[in-house]
Structure 1
Amino acid sequence: MLELKVWSDYACFTRPENKVERVTYDVMTPSAARGVLEAVFWKPEFEWRVREIAVLRPIRRFSILRNEVNDVVSERSAKGWMTSGGGYYADDSKNRAQRHALVLRDVCYVIRADIVLKPHATDPLQKYTEMFTRRAEKGQAFHQPYLGNREFTAFFGPPDGSETPIDLSEDLGRMLFDLHFQETGKGRLKYRAHGEGGARWATGNAAPRFFNARLERGILHVPHHLYGEVDA
């Protein structure tokens, strides 16, 4: 199992049930952890499977007021700006809005995850694990990781062995695991929806998947069955 330590002054792992105001989960979500790992190292020959997220600092929240815009830039407009110039300037927008956000402050985590090779991979697993370890030690990343929102830049490095999770055990409620989707042959997204009638495939946007999260002595364990594996 590979480990990566990440920390930041602020973080916001937004609960999807809140439509306007941003309210963070108390702990980093598995999808956010995967995003950090992929920012450091990713290849099409494998996928990351997050196993544990250790919380190293007390959970502290605070409220801020953020400037946002209600406009959505279309793909056609963006392509037009690329050819003829121009762009979108938030300062000129008449559709700006100020919204409250409940975010986390002074956060630090240790992400524990596995690299799982895909069927078309030809190189051994050891090659990818060594590449990840080197990149983590040197602070290399494909793009700067962030914790929830892009303005909350994350710093990372290998754990030094002194990390101790907080002594807290409690239910966190339903937490977002990840978005589940598959691209069809026609380029359309096909997602796996889970409900009372069981799982089914349908065409549309990616579907969110949730799980009942619990913090055990400062560690969030991600159930294996979410990846289609048998729980240990």
Structure 2
Amino acid sequence: MRNSIEFTLFGKYALFTDPLTKLGGEKLSYQVPTYQAIKGVLESIYWKPTLIMIVDEIRVMKAIRMESKGIRPMEYGGGNTLANYTYLKDVEYQVRAHFEFNLNRPDMAYDRNEHKHHNILKRALNVGGRRDIFLGSRECQGYVEPCTFGEGESFYDGYGDIHLGTMVHGLNYPDETGRDQMEVRLWSPVMRNGIIEFIRPEQCTQVRAIANMLPKRFDPAQVESADELLAQLEVGGNP
């Protein structure tokens, strides 16, 4: 696929929180990452307001296992609360994704250099991303490295279909939709032989507005274009 990358995402723990479990101060992870969580990883590898990262599919490589821990959440008003968080343990995924230009940002039109953005993205992936990778939560450090999607054995090869129920797909922000509100998307994924094929955000039929919000504006004078950034990389060697 055009402007695509494929990579392995792994870590000791992950917490892709089911929002229904937050009501009592507890947290329980979904069995698999949400679209929004993988998109966040992609934006940690390389992000520009010019681009929209699209997650195409993931492949679950290891058996889904969970572990509960007693956690003391930070309480700025004092207190000594003990909460129970249930994490995914020893996770590994293969991810296939690509980027498209954000046509809702005409102020970034000058930065639409497809070839150079793709080169920077691949270069950033090769060194583990431009920012720290987190698996759903800041205490869950993640790591990325290039791979060929579909290579290697998955625990769920030949496993058949697993219906995962209703899950959060992701969030809509006004600079991506053109609507002055934040929205949450829901969907009901099916994992087939370890692979989840994500529908695109605009294909989600269950969408709920959760807050009014205006798109963030960027001063072009303060945003490096892909040409400028790639020139710096070629001189300095940093991602």
TM-score range, shorter chain: 0.7 to 0.9
Q: CA deviation at 1:140?
A: 3.6
Q: Relative to total residues, which structure has the larger strand share, 1 or 2?
A: 1
CA distance in 2, matches of 1:94, 1:66: 15
CA distance in 2, matches of 1:104, 1:222: 20
Q: Deviations over 1:35-83 (max 9, x none)?
A: 0010010111111011101111110111111110344xxxxxxxxxxxx
Is it true that 1:177 corresponds to 2:157 in the alignment? no
Q: Are the structure 2 counterparts of residues 140 and 170 from structure 1 closer, same or farther at C-alpha, using a change threshold of 3 Å? A: closer
1:62-141 correspondence to structure 2 within 5 Å: 62-71=67-76, 94-119=78-103, 120=106, 121-122=109-110, 123-141=112-130
Q: TM-score, normalised by structure 1?
A: 0.74
Identity %: 26
Q: Deviations over 1:96-150 (max 9, x none)?
A: 3111111100000112112011234343322212211111112241x20100110
Q: Are the structure 2 counterparts of residues 139 and 210 from structure 1 closer, same or farther at C-alpha, using a change threshold of 3 Å? A: same
- For residue 139 of structure 2, what is the aligned residue in structure 1? 151
The letter for the 2-side match of 1:46 is L
CA distance in 1, matches of 2:75, 2:147: 40
Q: Relative to total residues, which structure has the larger helix share, 1 or 2?
A: 2
Work out which structure has the larger RCO, using CA pairs closer than 8 Å and 6 or more positions apart in sequence. 1
Q: Are the structure 2 counterparts of residues 228 and 213 from structure 1 closer, same or farther at C-alpha, using a change threshold of 3 Å? A: closer
CA distance in 2, matches of 1:212, 1:140: 30
The letter for the 2-side match of 1:152 is C
SS at match of 2:152: coil
The aligned length equals 187
- For residue 233 of structure 2, what is the aligned residue in structure 1? none
Q: CA deviation at 1:170?
A: 0.3
The letter for the 1-side match of 2:170 is D
- For residue 213 of structure 1, what is the aligned residue in structure 2? 189
Q: Are the structure 2 counterparts of residues 124 and 163 from structure 1 closer, same or farther at C-alpha, using a change threshold of 3 Å? A: farther
Gap runs ≥5 in structure 2? 205-239
Is it true that 1:190 corresponds to 2:180 in the alignment? yes
CA distance in 1, matches of 2:90, 2:117: 31
Gap runs ≥5 in structure 1? 72-92, 184-188, 192-205
CA distance in 2, matches of 1:62, 1:182: 36
CA distance in 2, matches of 1:100, 1:140: 31
